[in-house]
Structure 1
Amino acid sequence: MILLYGADTAQKLKEEISEMLSELNGYIPTLGIVRIGSNPADISYEKGAIKKFESLSLKTKVFEFEENITSEDFVAEFKKINEDDNIDGILLFRPLPEHIDEKKVIDVLNEKKDLDGISYKNIAKVFAGDITGFAPCTAKAVIKILESNDIDLEGKNVVVLGRSMVIGRPVAMLAIQKNATVTICHSKTENLKEVCKRADILIVAIGRAKMINDEYIGKDAIVIDVGINFADGKLCGDVDLENVKNATMATPVPKGVGAVTTSVLAGHLVIAALQRRMY
């Protein structure tokens, strides 16, 4: 089985980003990272993003708020960030605390600065097949890994395990744009193992540590593991990769899809800057 490491794809994206940056005539785009509280997973992703952006000569600015901030105050502060001309794109960590009115926050967000595809206009564009919309970064990272490894989706039977708006549904739409035939599975899907085994490409995003094994995977299938879990104190995916023999290719966790997501985010930032300042 060939392991599809994210670093290889990230390197290709770095080259694309460098070419786009040259069009900005020396202007350096800035990402606004907006976080409420100090969730360890958010902090970890934030540190990784900052490190990645520094390596690409991009700027970041962190806006951190206390968990007890009122919904009204947060919406007001978020509006200021959104309207700040020095901020070219925004990454908002979600889910927001329960007392924050997420709909009002999203309503404030300018879709041209929405780098992670959470605004209604961007999601609508993704579902309509309009490539001008920013898709959720993780979903797009899945497609980028397949593309960079010369895996053509046209005519392929793609099964997506998971139906969230963060990964499952948008990655299904992106695969359809590549002329794949897509099935979305979830907890209520009947004969789940049989449906998954028919996949040429199985994209797993269910959030259950090491649930998927050869009983779900057809011979010579390609498996993309988007899961991020902790088992026995170690980071792992939704796929029990050590016990998978049927797959011909698979992404590991860590060092798989996650390694590409911040590169996609960086690419979105540069595109946003180009759209705002050059066109």
Structure 2
Amino acid sequence: MKIINSKDIKNKLIKKINIAKKNKKLLIISQGKNPSVLSYKNAILKRCSEFGIEYVDGNFDDNKNHLDIVNYCNNLKNIGGFIILQPLSINTDLAYLRENMPFYDLDGFRYDSLGKIMGKNFKNLPQTARSIIKFIDYMDIDLKGKDIIIANSTNVIGKPLSMYLNYKKATVTLFNSKTINQKEKIKRADIFISAIGKANFYNSDYFRDGQILIDAGTSFVDGKMYGDIDYDSLENLNIDIVTCKNGVGSITTLSLIESLLFDS
């Protein structure tokens, strides 16, 4: 098992961000106290502090809804771009937010952003998908003809990422909670990308030598963060793997700041 180091990607992004003008403010919208959301938000706030980025932390109680969020946003000024950290409360209508959120969309959230992705304009790709692509580019993988499985079918990761990979001429399969014969299908894939949020769900039984694994899932057990893949079980396999903690997760916050400063 070879773990792909994120150091080179990080250093390249940090160098790019350091020379940019820090004149744009980030809006972070969240709701409640979901551990994964809090972890991600804290990582974003840490990056903002490191680079001197102004931000607005718009955290709402669970009894608030989409109208409260949009009204709050409409009263803000000088926002460079926004990110909405999901999940939100059951009181909040995501469809309403996708239609009515103001400001530049940094995470492929709004319907117009998703429409652009369908039209092969990937400027507004969600940040996790963007970070996965940065690793694929770093590993210099020729995607043409590659069989890729993504264990995630959401608008945040699976669907937009599959559009990009398909554009690059890969054959992409999206797994959902009802997908059958997963072990057999995953073993046939050249690249497996997981983002299901189940700790150590996939062990060595799912994989074979020669594959590339990208773990973008996060979950917490007794306060400790885990990825979807059981890394300890893979020691004897000849595979390349991008882990969740020092891999995709560590790049996503930098990618967000990059998008704020250079795309918005």
TM-score (ref. length: structure 1):
0.85
Question: Which residue of the partner structure matches residue 43 of structure 2?
Answer: 48
- Conserved? CA contact 2:36–2:220, under 8 Å: no
From the superposition, tell whether residues 160 and 50 of structure 1 become closer, same or farther in structure 2 (CA, over 3 Å): same
Render the CA deviation track for 1:205-232: whole Å, top value 9, x for unaligned.
Answer: 2222212122221321010011112245
Render the CA deviation track for 1:224-264: whole Å, top value 9, x for unaligned.
Answer: 01111224542111111110133421022321211111111
From the superposition, tell whether residues 271 and 109 of structure 1 become closer, same or farther in structure 2 (CA, over 3 Å): farther
- Conserved? CA contact 1:88–1:272, under 8 Å: no
Question: Which residue of the partner structure matches residue 114 of structure 1?
Answer: 105
Q: 1:1-279 counterparts in 2 under 5 A?
A: 1-18=1-18, 21=20, 26=21, 28-81=23-76, 84=77, 86-110=78-102, 113-132=104-123, 134-231=124-221, 233-244=223-234, 245-273=236-264
Percent sequence identity over aligned pairs: 33
Aligned-partner SS, 2:27 = strand
- Conserved? CA contact 2:32–2:88, under 8 Å: no
Letter in 2 for 1:32: L
From the superposition, tell whether residues 59 and 199 of structure 1 become closer, same or farther in structure 2 (CA, over 3 Å): same
Q: CA deviation at 1:190?
A: 3.1
* Structure 1: gaps (5+ residues): 274-279
Distance in 2 (CA, whole Å) between partners of 1:53 and 1:235 is 22
Render the CA deviation track for 1:96-140: whole Å, top value 9, x for unaligned.
Answer: 211123222221124x611011101111222221133x1111111
Deviates more, 1:196-205 or 1:51-60: 51-60
- Conserved? CA contact 1:204–1:226, under 8 Å: yes
Aligned-partner SS, 1:197 = helix
Aligned-partner SS, 2:42 = helix
Question: Which residue of the partner structure matches residue 276 of structure 1?
Answer: none
Render the CA deviation track for 1:3-49: whole Å, top value 9, x for unaligned.
Answer: 12334322222233345x2xxxx452110112333434333222211
Letter in 2 for 1:58: I
Distance in 2 (CA, whole Å) between partners of 1:266 and 1:10 is 12
Aligned-partner SS, 2:150 = strand
- Conserved? CA contact 1:222–1:247, under 8 Å: no
Q: CA deviation at 1:70?
A: 4.9
Aligned-partner SS, 1:49 = helix
Aligned-partner SS, 1:96 = coil
Distance in 2 (CA, whole Å) between partners of 1:224 and 1:236 is 14
Deviates more, 1:95-104 or 1:62-71: 62-71
From the superposition, tell whether residues 233 and 39 of structure 1 become closer, same or farther in structure 2 (CA, over 3 Å): closer
Distance in 2 (CA, whole Å) between partners of 1:67 and 1:137 is 25
TM-score (ref. length: structure 2):
0.90
Distance in 1 (CA, whole Å) between partners of 2:36 and 2:111 is 25
Distance in 2 (CA, whole Å) between partners of 1:72 and 1:233 is 33
- Conserved? CA contact 2:22–2:261, under 8 Å: no
Letter in 2 for 1:242: D
* Structure 2: gaps (5+ residues): none
Q: CA deviation at 1:152?
A: 2.8
